[in-house]
Amino acid sequence: MKIYIRSSACISPQNTFGNDNFLTEVVEYNGTRLKAIEPDYKEFVDPKLLRRMSHIIKMGVAAAMDCLKKGDTKMPGAIITGTAYGCLEDTVTFLTRTIEQQEELLPPTAFIQSTHNTVAAQIALILQCHNYNNTFVHKGISFESALLDATMLLKENEADNILVGGTDEMTDTSFTILSRLGLYKRWPVSNLNLYATKTRGSMGGEGAAFFLLTDRVSENNLAELTAIRTIYKPENLAVIEKKVIAFLEENNLTMEDIDLVITGKSGDTAHDDIYEQLNHSLFDNTNLANYKHLCGEYPTSSAFALWLASNIVKNETIPETVIERSIKKITPKTILIYNHYQKIYHSLMLVSAI
């Protein structure tokens, strides 16, 4: 069975939402954190509902609604989300109040909206969708787990038009804590210069990207999602190479067939060494692209990468800003996305032109 991406929508720190330009006007940030550009949510969500929604819920619901609209679908066959951190803003609000007010006189709203399944639940509630509804919360492969669920549902003939998305929000609190944990750069940089900085840490990021998956052929489909694979704690580079080759072989492909590799290079020297080595070994003869200078580093950033890849094959053009190396003049038809989060969770996605 072939699985197609029928439509996509992406809210990110770039002008990716409600905008037909495909990354032609790149937004520059100087700092250590990239914040999502928020659209006028009223176009997508009832203003009465909006008031209570936190940042992640607004991003998730608006991206989901726009994705459905673009896919000309009113009722999805299933709603599946992936989020590593869930509803951080509401979680921190309730936790802080619990401590500061010594467990007394707490309002319930933040708690109610703190559960990780809130985005998927709110989408179901707005659509009155009683179908399959699930939320995956597994660190750097939260989105990939959701995507695997969606592909299995299609293969099982359980549902069609499956809405699947990856969402994570960065709050001031999570940014502070994750900075203390060493995830982000200690001095401000320009995101357009992220990979040249050669220091530890990346730039923090956030966003929401949704996709409508179907097994029905249509010339309106964006792309084919050929395959997906996750790898946990590979021992060394040789194991990663072996797994990438095996993954391609299972799909009757070799590296020769790959027109473009999109890697998850983050600007963190401690993490980018894997990409640097692969770029000179397995990926040696391939065009290369990066994306984290556009959306920042976060556990579900691979959803941004999938949005990028599916729109590249649809538009038959690679935005200038993502190109790292161009050695073959080729219309990009087959793209491999390879990302790892903190070297622990690695994922592979194959995207092909329809």
Partner 1 sequence: MGSTVYVAGLGVISAIGNNVAEHLASFEREEAGMGDISHLDTIHRNKLPVAEVKLSNEELAARAGLPADMSRTASLSLIAAREALNDAAIPGLDALRTGFVSANTVGGMDRSEHFFIDFIKDENKGKLRNVYDHECGSMTEIVADQLGIKGFLTTISTACSSSANAIFYAARLIKNDVLDVVIAGGTDALTKFTLNGFNTLMILDDEFCKPFDEHREGLNLGEGAGYMVLVSEKVAKILNKKPYCRLSGYNNSNDAYHQTASSPDGTGSYLAMKGALEKSGLQPGDIDYINLHGTGTPNNDSAEGTAIKRLFDPHYPPMSSTKSFTGHTLGASGGIEAVFSVLAIKHGIIYPNLRFETRMAELPFEPETSYLTGQNIGHVMSNSFGFGGNCTSLIFSGI
Binding stretches for partner 1 (CB under 8 A)? 79, 84-86, 91, 94-96, 98-100, 102-104, 106-108, 111-118, 120-122, 124-125, 127-139, 141-142, 145, 148-149, 152, 155-157, 176-177, 180-181, 230, 232-233, 344
* CB 7, min distance to partner 1, A: 22
Neighbours of 176 (CB within 10 A): 10
- As a whole number of angstroms, the distance between CA 248 and CA 255 comes to 8
- As a whole number of angstroms, the distance between CA 293 and CA 305 comes to 12
- Complex with partner 1: residue 18 or 234, whichever CB lies closer: 234
* CB 220, min distance to partner 1, A: 28
- As a whole number of angstroms, the distance between CA 77 and CA 339 comes to 28
Q: Quick one: how many helices (H) and strands (E) in the chain?
A: 11, 13
- As a whole number of angstroms, the distance between CA 29 and CA 132 comes to 39
- Complex with partner 1: residue 82 or 332, whichever CB lies closer: 82
- Complex with partner 1: residue 13 or 86, whichever CB lies closer: 86
* CB 346, min distance to partner 1, A: 12
Q: What share of the chain is helix, strand, coil (3-state, %, to 5)?
A: 35, 25, 40
**Token pair 């998730």 is at which residue?**
60
- As a whole number of angstroms, the distance between CA 118 and CA 179 comes to 26
- Complex with partner 1: residue 225 or 260, whichever CB lies closer: 225
* CB 182, min distance to partner 1, A: 9
- As a whole number of angstroms, the distance between CA 59 and CA 73 comes to 19
Q: Which residues contact 236 (CB under 8 A, 6 or more apart)?
A: none
Report which DSSP code applies to 71.
T
* CB 239, min distance to partner 1, A: 11
* CB 342, min distance to partner 1, A: 11
- Complex with partner 1: residue 116 or 271, whichever CB lies closer: 116
* CB 158, min distance to partner 1, A: 9
> β-strand 4-11 against 260-263: which pairing, if any?
unpaired
Q: Which residues contact 323 (CB under 8 A, 6 or more apart)?
A: 287, 288, 289
* CB 87, min distance to partner 1, A: 11
Q: Is 248 left (phi over 0), alpha (psi -120 to 50) or beta?
A: alpha
- Complex with partner 1: residue 81 or 334, whichever CB lies closer: 81
- Complex with partner 1: residue 39 or 86, whichever CB lies closer: 86
- Complex with partner 1: residue 180 or 280, whichever CB lies closer: 180
